[in-house]
Structure 1
Amino acid sequence: MLGAISQILTYVVPFLLVLTLVVTVHELGHFLTARAFGVKMDRFAIGFGRALFKRTDKHGVEWRVGWLPLGGYVKFSGDLDATGVPDRAGLEAMRKQLVAAHGPGAERDYLYFKPLWQRALVVAGGPFANFVLAIFIFTLLFSLVGVELRPARVMQVQAGSPAAAAGFQQGDLITHVNGKLISDGGEVTRVVALSSGDPVRFTVERGDRAVELTATPERRVETDRIAGRVSVGRIGLALGSTRDEIRHVRYGPVAAVGQGVRETGAILNTTLTYIGRIFTGRESGDQFSGPLGIAKASGALTNAAVAANPEPWAIVRNLLLTLTSFAAILSVGIGFLNLMPIPVLDGGHLLFYAYEAVARRPMAARVQEAGYRVGLALLAGLMLFATWNDLQKLNLFKFLGGLVS
């Protein structure tokens, strides 16, 4: 019993807290943008199912919290929302109904009758809010906590590795990767991890000389304490820093914002690079994770934060820093996912709006309906694929096989 409670507190609670924060901010992005344009709304909901809490504000919007905190939505008045675009005949029928019910000009308060650019901004408001949340969190971390910069000093070169073949030597200091100045060894690791099979250019300081080296990472399967079993590129280097080289930097407000933007951009770039390599056949899709993988990662981060220092104040501090950082990363991921041009996602709705802007009319209802069916199928397939990856990383199939063998 105590073990089950411990597992819930370690894995489920942190996951739900982080997910609720990210989803709430996403929906607030839609909500606040719509309110700025005078769009009437009926409900702002976080979670699904029976309401645990609900209250109606002075604008007639019901604020609602459901018992199942796995998503959220904004319900626009007239049962209109940002998930579709009625065709011309549908819009005219809606207009007549609204005028008949509320009088001439009533349609101007409803989403579908707003100018196209306003509707597009309402849809884009959710992902944009996710990116803003990530930048905000990173800005706070860079300004209030700071960051420890560890230069990429080569401590060991594995014999027979790509690094050895490239000519790396112990003591080399990596200063540039693919022409980009780097200040921390983690930047080197990120580039190499997503470059298996592709040559990577390095500039190293060796004594008083700058030496150019090129190494091609090999794909290796490793076990990460947070992500589980992963397939990444490696060149056979052990990186570290001497005590004198390690710097703790705390940025001022303006510089921290810049760092927050750069960190958010780096996460987006890593995501785009990974997806691009999948489509070109240079990377497998086994790193995609769904809710199970995210919950596992949040639990692993929670355990690591607790184990770092047993003092109560240190546990609280480490948990706060760890989970807020995780929320920032997850927020970028959810923002990016929602911008994918798949009907039922925000990106799919923007795709329909783009067609409307070019064709000067909404897409035909039957085409939209077909698009939504395809989009739902794609989304369901993606979720199944991600869940399959998560179950494999959890070794569930190996466990079940052991039961029947």
Structure 2
Amino acid sequence: MTLVAFLALIGSLVVVHELGHYAVGRWFGVKAEKFSIGFGPQIWGRVDKRGTLWRIGLLPLGGYVQFAGDMNPASQADESWKQLPEEERNQTFQSKTLWQRALIVFAGPAVNFILAILIAMGFLLAFGKSVTQPVVDVVQPNSPAAVAGLQVGDRILTLNDRTVETFDMMANEVIMIPNEKIVLEIERNGARMTKEATVAAVIEVDRFGNEYRIGRLGIGASKLEIREVGLLEAPWAAVVQTGNILRQQIIGLGQIISGRRPISELGGPLKIAKVSGEAMSLGILTFISLAALISINLGFINLLPIPMLDGGHLLLYAIEAVRRRPATPVVQEWAFRAGFAMLAAFMIMVTFNDLASFGLFESG
């Protein structure tokens, strides 16, 4: 089940991502020579009437679209490209304007976000959304909330100057910031006041034995309110929900970079495979929820300004737009070599984390 779930999850998300590149490239008249799901030796392939090779590679950890004229990772034009007939040259990636190339590159991550939004819309339409008021019904003794002086009946207005609309919104914020200081603006009996607290760090263990370090304030809301979401409201509500998840991922990455979270919390393909199997065992809805989360993560990671990733290409295009000429081939080549080295080191690190989380390096 784990293997099937992992291949279904990664395969579908990679297909969606690469179809974004492919569709916008086709829209601008760029010929796609290869559409590959997975890397390495080909285990299946078929050439369509447009001359595109649709293939499946042996290693299912990604994919790519190779457009006509992609002679190297930086998609630089060379002398052989200049010698192509005009009609053939106009079908290459390099022949397109800067904004067209940027849109082709951006389309992959964008489609990952769109997929997550569509999934969120489906869940909102089917199950509604929580509109539980941010009013404290429970204060746990000796918790950070109790130490800060929060009381039953207090309404949370803001958390770190960010308006709190629902209890769930506040809870999702707190979960991401264990051991960090927060400032709450509350309303009590019509009067506004400010409270400061330090979020507690709690280790939670799920039914599969996975440990998660989360933030806990020590308050609760006992009156859960669910409201139906209409067809007109659902798209924007899904965008907001997706944006909140993306924001949490950005916060998490910032915490790891700044050292506030251990780097050991980063997971790789093995951890994703394990979680995929666990989600599938809990039912198709849980699996689809995980797919939306991983899709957002895939879009976010690909937009990081690292050469070899879509964000690295977009960064070079931004530099080209400012300088009004592209970076030299030597600069681009070294940038992509550095990007490849960074990604290789990252994959080794997260694989090590995965193996460590499975207890491979435990003594005795």
Structure 2 length as normaliser, TM-score? 0.89
Q: Which amino acid aligns with 2:262?
A: S
Q: Structure 1 CA distance, aligned partners of 2:161 and 2:92?
A: 51
Q: Which runs of 5+ in 1 are unaligned?
A: 1-8, 306-318
**Which one of 82, 88, 98 corresponds to residue 95 of structure 1?**
82
Q: Structure 2 CA distance, aligned partners of 1:155 and 1:15?
A: 41
Equivalence for 1:4 = none
- Aligned in 2, Cα 1:377/1:104: closer, same or farther, shift over 3 Å? closer
Percent same amino acid among aligned pairs?
A: 40
Q: String of CA shifts for 1:286-312, please: whole Å, max 9, x gaps.
A: 321111121222222233x2xxxxxxx
Match status 1:349 vs 2:336: no
- Aligned in 2, Cα 1:170/1:12: closer, same or farther, shift over 3 Å? farther
Equivalence for 1:384 = 348
Q: Structure 2 CA distance, aligned partners of 1:67 and 1:214?
A: 54
Q: String of CA shifts for 1:119-142, please: whole Å, max 9, x gaps.
A: 111111111111111111111111
Q: String of CA shifts for 1:22-55, please: whole Å, max 9, x gaps.
A: 1111000100010000001112222345555433
Once the two structures are TM-superposed, the CA of residue 214 in structure 1 deviates from its matched residue by: 2.3
- Stretch deviating more after TM superposition (147-156 or 291-300): 147-156
CA RMSD of aligned residues (A): 2.6
- Aligned in 2, Cα 1:206/1:302: closer, same or farther, shift over 3 Å? farther
Q: Contact (CA 8 Å) 1:227, 1:297: kept in 2 or not?
A: no
Q: Which amino acid aligns with 1:301?
A: A
Match status 1:239 vs 2:220: yes
Equivalence for 2:338 = 374
Match status 1:279 vs 2:257: yes
Match status 1:248 vs 2:226: yes
- Stretch deviating more after TM superposition (113-122 or 154-163): 154-163
Equivalence for 1:302 = 280
**Which one of 106, 109, 112 corresponds to residue 130 of structure 1?**
112
Equivalence for 1:267 = 245
Q: Contact (CA 8 Å) 2:69, 2:94: kept in 1 or not?
A: no
Once the two structures are TM-superposed, the CA of residue 349 in structure 1 deviates from its matched residue by: 1.2
Q: Which runs of 5+ in 2 are unaligned?
A: none
**Which one of 65, 84, 90 corresponds to residue 108 of structure 1?**
90
SS of residue paired to 1:397:
coil
Q: Structure 1 CA distance, aligned partners of 2:209 and 2:100?
A: 40
Q: Contact (CA 8 Å) 1:14, 1:299: kept in 2 or not?
A: yes
Q: Which amino acid aligns with 2:284?
A: L
Q: Which amino acid aligns with 1:218?
A: A
Q: Structure 1 CA distance, aligned partners of 2:136 and 2:5?
A: 36
Match status 1:32 vs 2:13: no
Once the two structures are TM-superposed, the CA of residue 73 in structure 1 deviates from its matched residue by: 1.2
Q: Contact (CA 8 Å) 1:80, 1:112: kept in 2 or not?
A: no
Q: Where in structure 2 are the equivalents of 1:181-192 lying within 5 Å?
A: 181-182=163-164, 184-192=166-174
**Which one of 285, 290, 294 corresponds to residue 268 of structure 2?**
290
Q: Structure 2 CA distance, aligned partners of 1:228 and 1:186?
A: 23
SS of residue paired to 2:361:
helix
Q: Which amino acid aligns with 1:200?
A: I
Q: Where in structure 2 are the equivalents of 1:64-79 lying within 5 Å?
A: 64-79=55-70
SS of residue paired to 2:305:
coil
Q: Structure 2 CA distance, aligned partners of 1:153 and 1:397?
A: 46
Equivalence for 1:330 = 294
Once the two structures are TM-superposed, the CA of residue 207 in structure 1 deviates from its matched residue by: 6.4
SS of residue paired to 1:34:
helix
Q: Contact (CA 8 Å) 2:147, 2:197: kept in 1 or not?
A: yes
Aligned residues: 364
- Stretch deviating more after TM superposition (48-57 or 383-392): 48-57
**Which one of 55, 61, 67 corresponds to residue 52 of structure 2?**
61
Once the two structures are TM-superposed, the CA of residue 335 in structure 1 deviates from its matched residue by: 0.5
Q: Where in structure 2 are the equivalents of 1:118-197 lying within 5 Å?
A: 118-151=100-133, 154=136, 156-170=138-152, 172=154, 174=156, 176-182=158-164, 184-197=166-179
Q: Structure 2 CA distance, aligned partners of 1:77 and 1:85?
A: 10
Q: Structure 2 CA distance, aligned partners of 1:79 and 1:270?
A: 35
Once the two structures are TM-superposed, the CA of residue 263 in structure 1 deviates from its matched residue by: 1.2
Structure with the largest fraction of helix: 1
Q: Which amino acid aligns with 1:15?
A: F
Q: Which amino acid aligns with 2:220?
A: L
Q: String of CA shifts for 1:336-380, please: whole Å, max 9, x gaps.
A: 111111111111111222222223332222222221221111112
Structure 1 length as normaliser, TM-score? 0.81
Q: Contact (CA 8 Å) 1:47, 1:66: kept in 2 or not?
A: yes
Q: Contact (CA 8 Å) 1:289, 1:387: kept in 2 or not?
A: yes
Q: String of CA shifts for 1:152-207, please: whole Å, max 9, x gaps.
A: 56565444332221012356554543344545543223212333343323345656
Q: Which amino acid aligns with 2:142?
A: G
Once the two structures are TM-superposed, the CA of residue 84 in structure 1 deviates from its matched residue by: 0.9
SS of residue paired to 2:34:
strand
Q: Contact (CA 8 Å) 2:176, 2:251: kept in 1 or not?
A: yes
Q: Structure 1 CA distance, aligned partners of 2:319 and 2:263?
A: 31
- Aligned in 2, Cα 1:387/1:151: closer, same or farther, shift over 3 Å? farther
Equivalence for 1:215 = 197
Q: Structure 2 CA distance, aligned partners of 1:20 and 1:177?
A: 39
**Which one of 59, 62, 74 corresponds to residue 84 of structure 1?**
74
